[in-house]
Amino acid sequence: MSNSVKETFGVHSSRPELACPSSSVLQQLEDREWKVSLKKNLEIASRVVYLEGKCSESLASADYTSPETPFLFQLEKTMLDLSSPSLTDGEFYCSFFKLDDVYYCRFFESGVLQGYFLSEGMSQLKNYFEEHHLDITRLVWLQVSTQDDIKQYHRRYTLKLERKGVIIH
């Protein structure tokens, strides 16, 4: 057997995960303590997805849309376009609004301003909620693009330009 071939669950393969019996995989999953945490996280995520959908619907019904894309999402896409290290050292953008008794905070941060929302912005939001006697459990916050999203976006953008023959420095 070569170095790239390994034995897993009694199967010899360079990709043993594809050849092992499903019962072995299921047993491994059933023995994990994290399944309770995973289920809880999925329940939270499903609530967030639902609220994001409601947010999009509410923005559309409030006529914040264009024929192609809701205005807010166009703005966030523009922030992503401008987040290239060759264009700026960093960006921070935050939108805060209330729709149907839910408060939404969508933010974008890049470069030297990465981490600003959690280090500064969240405490300002908490103060706002306290000062106005609002229920902070009604707050849904979302970082619209992570640092990995930004890097992947600009990598794909650079590759497209290189394919077109545009020189990138």
96, 124 Cβ separation under 8 angstroms: no
Q: Which two tokens stand for residue 19?
A: 């050849």
User: What mean pLDDT do residues 94-107 have?
Assistant: 84
What pLDDT was estimated at residue 22? 55
**pLDDT over threshold 70, residue 13:** no
> pLDDT (tens digit, 9 = 90+) per residue, 78-87?
888 888 877 8
Angle at 145 between CA 141 and CA 150, to 5 degrees: 160
Which pair of structure tokens corresponds to residue 3? Answer: 């170095």
- Percent of the chain topping pLDDT 70: 66
Residue 164 · residue 156 · CB < 8 Å: no
User: What pLDDT was estimated at residue 127?
Assistant: 92
pLDDT of residue 133: 94
What is the rounded (10 degree) CA torsion for 108, 103, 135, 47? Answer: -90
The overall pTM is greater than 0.75:
no
Adjacent-strand bridge partners of 95 = 106
Distance CA(62)–CA(115), nearest Å, equals: 31
Mean pLDDT of 126-143: 90
Radius of gyration of the chain, Cα coordinates, nearest whole angstrom: 22
More confident residue, 110 or 169: 110
Three-class DSSP labels, the chain: CCCCCEEECCEEECCHHHHCCHHHHHHHHHCCCHHHHHHHHHHHHHHHHHHHHHHHHHHHHCCCECCCCEHHHHHHHHHHHHCCCCCCCEEEEEEEEEECCEEEEEEEEEECCCCHHHHHHHHHHHHHHHHCCCCHHHEEEEECCCHHHHHHHHHHHHHHHHHCCCCCC
Please report the pLDDT score of residue 2 as a whole number: 47
The model's confidence at residue 47, banded by pLDDT at 50, 70 and 90, is confident
pLDDT band for position 150 (cuts 50, 70, 90): confident
Contacts of 46 (CB under 8 A, 6+ apart): none
Q: What is the pLDDT of residues 52-70, one digit of tens each?
A: 777 777 777 766 656 555 6
